[in-house]
Amino acid sequence: MSGTDGIEELRLSIDALDRRIVALLAERTAVVRELTGFKHDEQAVRSPGRVEQVITKVRALADAHGMPPAIAEAVYRTLVEELTALQLGMLDERRAAPSPAAVNGAA
């Protein structure tokens, strides 16, 4: 096997891993969307204590798998930032929607 064949094989492995990673991120996003239904204010969405729990957990998992924890932390901080923005948008949409009572004509 030439060096070029080895590079191509590894790139194919990376592509397969990317498909799995994105599928898992989509699954995580779906759970976050569902969870947002239980949150009623910005503080509940932002949950700084929970964010730090997740970061601590992810750093430990990365270390246990031989991955530099700083990489996992950077990825997760970006993920959390983007999902927080998604949740805040969902919260704003929910607040802007007419209440069921208003839709049914009740005062």
CATH number for the domain including 9? 1.20.59.10
The pTM for the full model equals 0.84
CB distance 45 to 95 below 8 Å: no
How far apart (Å, rounded) are the C-alpha atoms in residues 59 and 48? 16
Range of the domain at 35: 3-96
User: How many structural domains comprise the chain?
Assistant: 1
For residue 78, tell me if it sits in a domain.
yes
CB distance 45 to 32 below 8 Å: no
Write the single-letter amino acid at 56. Answer: T
Question: What does the pLDDT look like over 30-85, one tens digit per residue?
Answer: 999 999 999 999 999 999 999 999 999 999 999 999 999 999 999 999 999 999 99
